[in-house]
Structure 1
Amino acid sequence: MLRRVIFWTLLICTGCAMYACKKMDGTFEKYIQKGGRLYAGRPANVTLSGGLNRIMIRWPRGADASVVKARVFWNLKADSLEIPITSSMDTVTCIIDNLPEKEYSFTIRTYDGEGNASVPLEVFGRSYGTKYLSRLLDRPVISSQQKRNGEMFIAWGEADTLLGAFATQVKYVKLNGDTVLKQINVDSDTTIFADYKTGTSYLYRTLFLPEKGAMDTFQTSYVKQVVVEYVAPASIDLSSRYLKNYTVPFQRATYDGARWGTLQGWTTNAVVSNQGPAGNKIYGGYDNINSSASLGTQKWGDGDPAIPNGKIYQTIVLPAGDYEVRWNTDGNTGAVNRGTDPRYVVVAAGNTLPDLANLSTALASVSFVTSVDRFSVKTTFSLEKQTTVSLGLLINFVQGQQAFRGGNFRLWGPDL
Structure 2
Amino acid sequence: MNYKNNIIVCLSLLLLFGCKRYDNDYLKYFDGKESVYPGLVKSLSYRAGNLRTALSWNPSPDPSVVKYVVKWNNGRDSIVVPATSHNPEDKISVTVPNLSEYVYSFVIYSYDDKGNRSIGQEINNVRVYGEAYKSLLQNRNINAANPYVYTQDGMLTLNFANADTSNTSTVITYTNTSNITEQKKLLPTENTITINNFKFGTPITYISSYIPEKNAIDTFKTNTTGNFPTVYRYVMCPKNKFSPLSLYGDAQSYDDSYWTSLWTIFDGATSPKGWYNGFHSNDAKTLPYPISFDMGATYNSLSHFEIIGRDCCHNPVEYEIWGSNTKDVPGIEGNNANWRTQMQASGWTLLQSVNRTDDGKAPFKSSLIDNPPPVRYIRILIKKVASGDSKYSNLSQVTFWNRE
Scaled to the shorter chain, the TM-score interval is 0.3 to 0.5
Report the structure number with the largest CA radius of gyration: 2
In the superposition, the TM-score normalised over structure 2's length comes to 0.44
Q: Which has the higher strand share?
A: 1
In the superposition, the TM-score normalised over structure 1's length comes to 0.43
